[in-house]
Amino acid sequence: MAREMLINVAETEECRVAVVEGGSLEELYVERTSISSHVGNVYKGKVVNIESGIQAAFIDFGIGRNGFLHISDLHPRYFSGAGRADKIGRRKSLKLRPPIQDCLRKGQELVVQVTKEGVKTKGPTLSTYLALPGKYLVMMPWMQKHGISHKIEDEDERKRLRQILTQSKPPKSMGFIIRTAGQGCSKRDIQNDLKYLRRLWTAIEKRIETEKAPGELYQESDLVIRTIRDVFNSKISKIMCDSETVVRKIRDFLAIATPRLKKRVTYYDSKVPLFHKYKIESEITKVQSRTVELKGGGSIVIEQTEAMVSIDVNSGRHRKPKSAEQTAFETNMEAATEIARQLRLRDLGGLIICDFIDMRSEKHRRDVEKVFRTAARADRARSRILRMSRFGVIEMTRQRIRPSLQSSTYLACPHCAGAGFVKSQESIAIEIIRLLNLSASTEQIKRVELIVSPEVADYLQNDKRALIAQIEQLNEKRVTIHSAPDYAGEKHELVCYNERGSVVKL
């Protein structure tokens, strides 16, 4: 099936890139101008604090929020002591690494790269192992390793690419990895990419010498160029973009990176918005929904929490005249592919628990697991998938680089604080009655004002009026209920007064 890339930048506040295959949305990338992105950027930072207990340092790198650098991400060039020089360029086991307090000191300057955006109260994650991507290569300064992407599995192709890389004579002080996009490319393509990356590093080295810490040394490309560089390949038949300026920028980039694919870029000029024309908007709406319907009648429910992402598979309307085992197997097989797709589209990362429908057959469990692993291979993010348990649960981790689509698109609900539920009016009323009884037991309180939402006010005045009147009569207190339109859900306030009209704390 034909794969196409659609780029929507008509609205200047947001850039969206979609990869479509056979009319189905397969990949989605969204970036807003109001949200700064730091992943991939290189900075000259300064150590502000060293925490020996967690073997980490906090680095000021100039964005107003300190970054987190763990000892496992500290390059041996920053180690002290004998034998340091011959260890440079090789990642060392944690057991062989010296304590971070022996490597760094407060105020020390170092070159860092952001590997993961900060989430909520957590600052960005940093590394001193730099990785600068080109179209076909990733350059790793101060490393001596050369390699081929694990996703290139053909041994003959791996051997050919390794020979090309050796013949290109890369600098000894730099490591290079041929990316998945390098599969099938020519020697000239790789050599051109190598020259581009060497020029880039020369420019960064000059800035390292002259830039004061904290400061930016290199800024990663914007979403459009990143996606063209990392995702676009010969399997994508067409790129359509709704901005002439961006089309020119894409063509200029491809003229350097992949000249033969430059002709595939076209400008979309129509009154009908690009994503509506290709029916992508409705697909994006589904991606933002908690429940995803499966074609066979089942569904998957995706819950994103602070600790993990949980995915539950339901058979739903899948009620063909078959055995329960066969129904569960067919629904799980369909769900396995869809879950892998949803993880990519929503950019969900961290710990993920997939709860499939129970199956008695060990063969069925292994078949579902195999389909899930195969579908996950299409994902550019690194993942680790454990075997399905006899309860039908697959645990996995997926690389989290940027905040998920949900967290960057939605705000926590002001009514439920993100819980997804609000208390019923009856529950709120019961709590208020308890507070009224407490205030009634306090001698100095003579009058109580209740400030509640309009819905709760109606409930109290209609369903609990007799009970409130009883509290007033027995305790010789006066209770006034105020309806506040700006009070939503369970928000309420109890204000108590003495006989002089002064506020009394309850």
Residue 207 sits in the same domain as residue 271 = no
Task: Tell whether omega for the bond before 170 is within 30 degrees of 0, i.e. cis.
Answer: no
Q: What stretch of H or E contains 457?
A: helix 454-463
Q: Domain for residue 417, yes or no?
A: no
- Please determine, for residue 404, whether its predicted confidence score (pLDDT) is greater than 50: yes
End position of a domain, from candidates 240, 263, 281 = 281
Same domain, residue pair 401 and 452: no
pLDDT bucket at 88, cuts 50 / 70 / 90: very low
User: Residue type for 190, please?
Assistant: I
pLDDT, average across residues 336-365? 94
* 28-37, 247-256, 333-342: segment of lowest average pLDDT: 28-37
Shared domain check, 308 and 370: yes
Residue of higher predicted confidence among 392 and 80: 392
Number of domains in the chain: 4
Q: Is residue 263 part of a domain?
A: yes
Across all residues in the chain, what is the average pLDDT?
88
For residues 320 and 365, membership in a common domain is answered with yes
Claim to verify: residue 170 and residue 53 sit in the same structural domain: yes
Q: What is the pLDDT of residues 389-401, one digit of tens each?
A: 989 999 999 988 7
Last residue in a domain, options 203, 218, 233: 218
Residue 377: other Cβ atoms inside 10 A: 10
418: left (phi over 0), alpha (psi -120 to 50) or beta: left
Burial environment of residue 443 by CB neighbours within 10 A (0 to 12, 13 to 18, 19 or more): exposed
| 244: phi then psi, degrees, rounded to nearest 5 | -65, -40
* Ramachandran category for residue 173: left, alpha or beta (phi over 0 → left; psi -120 to 50 → alpha): alpha
Q: What is the CATH number of the domain that holds 479?
A: 3.40.1260.20
CA 112 → CA 50, 218, 225, 450, distances in Å? 16, 10, 22, 55
Q: Under a CB-based contact definition with an 8 Å cutoff, are residues 60 and 113 in contact?
A: no
The more confidently predicted of residues 13 and 91 is 13
Q: Are residues 383 and 403 in the same domain?
A: yes
Higher pLDDT pick, 354 / 22? 354
Structural domain includes residue 209: yes
Q: Is 215 strand, coil or helix? A: strand
Give CA 159 to chain center in angstroms.
35
φ and ψ at 369, to 5 degrees?
A: -60, -40
**Separation of alpha carbons 472 and 232, rounded Å:** 73
Q: Which residue has the higher pLDDT, 446 or 368?
A: 368
Whether residue 165 sits in one domain with residue 302: no
| Beta strands at 24-32 and 291-293: parallel, antiparallel or unpaired | unpaired
The rounded Cα 237 to chain-centroid distance in angstroms is: 28
pLDDT value at residue 91: 55
Would 418 be classed as within a structural domain? Answer: no
Separation of alpha carbons 156 and 289, rounded Å:
44
Q: With CA atoms as reference, report the closest residue to 225 among 390, 29, 53.
A: 29
C-beta of residue 344 within 8 angstroms of C-beta of residue 378: yes
Same domain, 327 and 397: yes
212 and 227 belong to one structural domain: no
Name the H helices within 271-404. Answer: 274-277, 280-287, 324-346, 362-376
- Mean pLDDT value across residues 26-35: 86
pLDDT digits (tens, 9 = 90+) for 190-229: 998 999 999 999 999 999 999 998 999 999 989 999 999 9
CA distance to 55, 251, 359, 378, 439, per residue, from 16 (Å): 39, 18, 40, 20, 56
Give the C-alpha separation, 27 to 226, whole Å.
Answer: 14
Between CA 239 and CA 463 the distance in angstroms is 62
The answer to whether 211 and 44 are in contact (CB under 8 A) is: yes
61 and 137: one domain? yes
Do 160 and 277 have their domain in common?
A: no
Please check whether residues 54 and 200 belong to one and the same domain.
yes
Q: Give the type of residue at 104.
A: L
Between CA 456 and CA 483 the distance in angstroms is 8
> What residues make up the domain containing 394?
288-409
Considering the domain boundaries, does residue 324 fall inside one? yes
Secondary structure (3-state) at 235: coil
pLDDT, average across residues 24-43: 88
> What pLDDT shows up at residue 86?
44
Cβ atoms of 346 and 406 within 8 Å: the answer is yes
**pLDDT at residue 318, rounded to an integer:** 57
Helices 324-346/280-287 angle, 10° precision: 110
Over residues 80-91, mean pLDDT: 50
Last-in-domain residue among 178, 200, 218: 218
